[in-house]
Amino acid sequence: MRVEVIICTYNRVGSLQGTIQSILDTETPENVSVELFIINNNSSDATEQLIKEFTEKASGAKIKYLFEGKQGKSYALNTALKHITGDIIAFTDDDIIVDKNCIKEMVKAIAKYPQYNCFGGRVLAKYNGELPEWLDIEGSMKFLRSVFSNKDEGDEEREYGNSTISGLPGGCHMFFRREVIEKNGLFRTDLGPLGSELGFSEDVEYCQRLLNSGNKFMYIPAAIMYHPAHQERLNKGYLLKRQYKCGRAEVRKAGGYENAKKAFGVPRYLFGKILQHAVGWGFSLQVKTKFYHKLKLYYTFGEAIEHICLDFNNSKKSFD
């Protein structure tokens, strides 16, 4: 059995080094081989040199270097998908540390659940110190857990959506039988990060297509990866910008909320949400509650702006 691990990277030579090394250090059964597909998405740092050094000294796992000059994570992912031939296709990020037993547990899960094609593992966030007093990711702001790639759904193997916090695994730790990936096709290139610019939902949309075609996802808690909680993300400005971008990505992914009654191209109910969260932000006394409403306000603004853009583009097409 061959496991192919896909890592797309852009200007993260420092963290990428740890990710590659952790995969090379994993323990695998005797009948399993591992190959890393590392896609350099037009990095300007020493990424290419780092991968070359690892390739020369790597023993056990093989490393395949690919370059994608068109900026955007989805373009890089699609470049990798054109080269896959393994039995298990796994996706992770360039700042993840893979537990030494992770791949072994992934292989075990594939054998244990022959009726499943799609899987996700446990991702534990590693925080450097205490969280700010205004951040409540275990309470009202659980939706921010994904910011720190905290994908801990507990100790029990179970289907996603069945008492799990997340309906789907995160893009930093999901794995599949190759056949289902080949049927599902490529990632949407209008979604996802674009160089250093925030972008989202390429993984969610990809997994949603698999759900729509009848596949189900199994959560494997023993397959563990670790993700650092980057200090720059523990910042209100970053989180607000992220929420705005998430709102836009959600509308873009769906192609707009078609069944909603609209005014000026925007679903009417969004105006009510904007008012609700604006009032909550302005009049709440508790710091966590105040920031919660501000996050929701930025997300809703993102939804509204993307609807306006879609409406404008559709009108332009009609005119053309």
CB-based contacts of 295: which residues, under 8 Å, 6+ apart?
141, 144, 239, 240, 243
CA distance 131 to 145: 12
Look at residue 190 and give its three-state secondary structure.
coil
Instruction: Enter the pTM of the model.
Output: 0.88
CA distance 5 to 83: 12
- Strand ranges (E), 20-87: 33-40, 62-67
5 within 8 A of 39, measured Cβ to Cβ: no
Residue appearing with tokens 């994904």: 146
CA distance 295 to 263: 23
**Could you please report the per-residue DSSP string of 96-109?**
-EE-TTHHHHHHHH
Residue 308 tokens, joined? 């306006």
pLDDT tens for the chain, residues 1 to 320: 999 999 999 999 999 999 999 999 999 988 999 999 999 999 999 999 999 999 988 766 799 999 999 999 999 999 999 999 999 999 999 999 999 999 999 999 999 999 999 999 999 988 887 889 999 988 899 888 888 777 888 999 999 987 666 789 989 999 999 999 999 999 999 999 999 898 989 999 999 999 999 999 999 999 999 998 888 888 999 999 999 999 999 999 999 998 889 998 999 999 999 999 999 999 999 999 999 999 999 999 999 999 999 987 776 565 55
CA distance 177 to 89: 6
Q: What is the CA radius of gyration of the chain?
A: 20
| Interaxial angle between packed helices 47-57 and 13-24, expressed in degrees from 0 to 180 and rounded to the nearest 10 | 20
CA distance 146 to 222: 19
CA distance 313 to 211: 29
CB-based contacts of 259: which residues, under 8 Å, 6+ apart?
none
Look at residue 291 and give its three-state secondary structure.
helix
CA distance 89 to 98: 15
Taking only the tens place, the pLDDT of each residue in 111-163 is: 999 999 999 999 998 888 788 999 998 889 988 888 877 788 899 999 998 76
CA distance 146 to 144: 5
Name the residue among 193, 307, 197 with its Cα closest to residue 248. 307
CA distance 76 to 86: 18
CB-based contacts of 254: which residues, under 8 Å, 6+ apart?
none
H or E segment and range at residue 297: helix 287-319
> Alpha-carbon torsion 106, 92, 158, 215, what sign?
negative
